[in-house]
């Protein structure tokens, strides 16, 4: 990305279109010159002159005076027709402190949830709380105060800024003068930037010195050394972002966060990509200064960055603290799971200080031994780790052992892991009211059904068939299988699960032989298998029903409280729209600034 109108690029992220256009007009219009560095220099010079002019004016710290001035500025803007007139000034604090959002486009931004600061456009802004304002995230709407975190990440640090340091330093210093309360500079040039400032950093502006590693997460010793290097620059806040190659990498970042909390060193410590996702949600538990959330899905500035709305509405992040118990779903893949939505809302409904997160796990035994603290109190377990979970648990419930699969793990206060299977009850009760791999076959057999097992791998089908005393088939053989009247077909594979929604385990022609068709896949709620089975006249049972029932069983194991059927069904309404049962949570959330 070039220098062209880089401040307007900032406003692309900070303002809705109409407000941005008004401010861009004050900057002198879109730059189309062939001398971008000169363009930047002129823009910075122009803004500096406005800063000098603003210093000569009376203070507008009083909110009522500021509001009056904003109203007058808006009136003045309507009179501006020629955007090239040099005397159409940009009021110094307007561009950077963020007034001017149209009321009909207001969104909310939570305190200490920074938007789009790890890469992205050459200059970016973080809104947080300090001045009455309609907030910039649609999920929340309470008045909030605006602060700014300005950054200008260069390409060599993973951003898109391709220019020289000096124009960027000038812009960052200018941002401080205009009222930015946080400025982010990279460790590689931190000393150079501090020398450039010549001690002119305003007292109310905090300097974040950051390091980004897009390859891996270094050892604990290397992270400690990096921490010391950043502290040596005189940074007000340390920022370290690394990349996870496996989920256990995040534990090293948590160790650094805890160390800094004990030493009272403010630190932002995050681990990028899906295996590092938990670092973004759990950082408040371990002492992280802030986390980052994008303003909307698809606008992420770093791998695995959640939306700020999800951080608030799904993970209740402002209530996470040192005493928060951690639960989650272990799987691979796991990003499609609706379990965090359901369980977090269930915890919230009973006032439990707990959070439920997705764990993308490659090696189950390594994960469980790494996150061995009693605070990691329980897990749901899904594909492909259910069988391995039996071997990893210290104790296994008899039914789960008979099934040969565990979908729920509880860590006792003494550290022992106990495994259960709630798929068994959830699957059979879902069919009775209208079954999953081994759990479904076991439950059906217990009810007296004749069970036929089909699998893409015949050996696995035969193994389970021998266990329950039923015949085994391949999926190809199932196509031509003619069951007796009233037979139930149950898909317990991941075939048809998002994003592969056009796949189905059986042809529509073959479905005509079945009276009832059950699909354990619940994302999407109506799979191709269920849709085509219904067209053939079969009674269909969605995997959502099984999901809710097995989740109720897990909730009881997690909390020791009874799961109320009606309440869980009401909570399940939030699965497709997390805000459906939550409403506006902002009024009860205290900023962490």
CB 384 within 8 A of CB 406: no
Structure tokens that stand for 236 in this block: 């007000």
Nearest 5°: the CA angle 372, 377, 379 is 95
**Helix/strand number for the chain, H first, E second:** 23, 19
Residue 561 Ramachandran class (φ > 0 left, ψ -120 to 50 alpha, else beta): beta
Strands of 429-485 (E only): list them.
453-455, 472-474
Q: What is the C-alpha to C-alpha distance for residues 305 and 314, in angstroms, rounded to an integer?
A: 14
Strands of 284-394 (E only): list them.
291-292, 325-331, 354-360, 376-381
Structure tokens that stand for 443 in this block: 């439950």
The residue to which tokens 């941005």 are assigned: 20
DSSP 167-235: HHHHHHHHHHHHT-SEEEEEHHHHHHHHHHHTT---TT-EEEEEEE-SS----HHHHHHHHHHHHHTT-
CB 290 within 8 A of CB 322: no
Decide: residue 562, CB within 10 A, 0-12 exposed, 13-18 middle, 19+ buried: exposed
CB 364 within 8 A of CB 392: yes
CB 403 within 8 A of CB 386: no
CA distance readout (Å), 425 to 118, 391, 406, 457:
45, 22, 13, 26
Structure tokens that stand for 99 in this block: 């007034």
Those residues with Cβ within 8 angstroms of residue 549's Cβ, 6 or more apart along the chain or in another chain = 422, 425, 426, 427, 429, 430
CA distance readout (Å), 92 to 60, 79, 175, 176, 181:
12, 19, 9, 11, 15
Q: What is the C-alpha to C-alpha distance for residues 210 and 187, in angstroms, rounded to an integer?
A: 5
Instruction: Give the SS3 label for residue 578.
Output: coil
Q: What is the C-alpha to C-alpha distance for residues 273 and 214, in angstroms, rounded to an integer?
A: 9
CA distance readout (Å), 125 to 115, 117, 205, 260:
7, 7, 14, 26
CA-nearest of 295, 29, 267 to 139 is 295
DSSP 389-401: HHHH-SEE-HHHH
Q: What is the C-alpha to C-alpha distance for residues 430 and 444, in angstroms, rounded to an integer?
A: 12
Q: Report, as residue numbers or ranges, the catalytic residues.
A: 212, 239, 386, 423
Structure tokens that stand for 173 in this block: 């210093």
Decide: residue 480, CB within 10 A, 0-12 exposed, 13-18 middle, 19+ buried: exposed
* Residues in a beta bridge with 466: none
Structure tokens that stand for 122 in this block: 């050459």
């Amino acid at each position: 990305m070039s220098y062209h109108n880089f401040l307007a690029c900032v406003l692309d992220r900070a303002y809705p279109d109409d407000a941005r256009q008004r401010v861009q007009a004050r900057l002198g219009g879109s730059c189309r010159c062939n001398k971008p560095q000169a363009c930047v220099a002129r823009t910075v010079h122009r803004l500096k002159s406005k800063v000098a002019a603003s210093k000569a004016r009376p203070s507008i710290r009083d909110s009522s005076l500021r509001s009056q001035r904003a109203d007058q500025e808006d009136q003045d803007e309507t009179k501006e027709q020629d955007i090239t007139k040099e005397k159409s000034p940009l009021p110094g604090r307007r561009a950077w402190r963020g007034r001017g959002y149209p009321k009909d486009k207001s969104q909310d931004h939570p305190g200490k949830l920074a938007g789009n600061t790890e890469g992205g456009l050459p200059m970016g802004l973080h809104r947080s709380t300090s001045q009455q304002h309609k907030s910039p995230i649609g999920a929340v709407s309470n008045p909030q105060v605006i602060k700014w975190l300005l950054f200008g990440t260069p390409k060599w640090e993973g951003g898109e800024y391709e220019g020289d340091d000096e124009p960027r330093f000038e812009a960052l210093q200018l941002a401080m003068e205009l009222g930015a309360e946080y400025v982010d500079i990279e460790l590689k040039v931190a000393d150079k930037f501090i020398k450039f400032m010549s001690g002119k950093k305003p007292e109310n502006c905090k300097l974040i010195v950051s390091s980004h590693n897009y390859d891996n997460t270094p050892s604990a010793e290397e992270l400690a050394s990096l921490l010391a290097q950043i502290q040596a620059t005189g940074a007000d806040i340390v920022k370290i972002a690394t990349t996870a190659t496996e989920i256990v990498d995040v534990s090293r970042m948590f160790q650094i966060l805890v160390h800094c909390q004990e030493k009272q060193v403010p630190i932002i410590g995050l681990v990028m990509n899906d295996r590092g996702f938990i670092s973004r949600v759990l950082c408040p538990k371990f002492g992280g200064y802030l986390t980052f959330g994008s303003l909307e899905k698809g606008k992420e500035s770093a791998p695995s960055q959640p939306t700020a709305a999800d951080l608030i509405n799904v993970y209740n992040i402002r209530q996470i603290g040192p005493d928060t118990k951690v639960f989650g779903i272990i799987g691979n893949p796991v990003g499609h799971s609706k379990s965090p939505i359901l369980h977090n809302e269930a915890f919230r409904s009973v006032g439990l200080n707990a959070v439920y997160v997705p764990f993308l796990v490659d090696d189950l035994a390594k994960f469980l031994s790494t996150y061995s603290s009693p605070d990691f109190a329980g897990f749901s377990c899904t594909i492909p780790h259910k069988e391995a979970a039996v071997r990893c648990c210290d104790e296994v419930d008899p039914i789960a052992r008979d099934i040969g699969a565990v979908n729920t793990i509880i860590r006792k206060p003494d550290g022992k892991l106990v495994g259960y299977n709630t798929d068994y009850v959830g699957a059979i009760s879902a069919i009775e009211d209208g079954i999953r791999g081994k759990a479904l076959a076991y439950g059906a057999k217990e009810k007296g059904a004749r069970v036929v097992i089909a699998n893409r791998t015949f050996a696995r089908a035969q193994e389970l068939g021998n266990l329950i005393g039923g015949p085994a088939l391949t999926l190809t053989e199932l196509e031509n299988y003619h069951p007796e009247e009233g037979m139930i077909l149950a898909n317990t594979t991941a075939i048809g699960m998002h994003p592969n929604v056009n796949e189905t385990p059986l042809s529509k022609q073959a479905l005509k032989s079945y009276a009832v068709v059950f699909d354990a896949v619940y994302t999407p709620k109506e799979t191709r298998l269920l849709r085509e089975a219904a067209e053939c006249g079969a009674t269909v049972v969605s995997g959502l029903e099984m999901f809710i029932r097995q989740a109720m069983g897990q909730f009881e194991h997690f909390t020791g409280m009874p799961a109320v059927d009606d309440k869980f069904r009401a909570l399940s309404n939030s699965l497709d729209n997390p805000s459906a049962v939550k409403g506006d949570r902002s009024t009860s959330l205290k900023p962490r600034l």
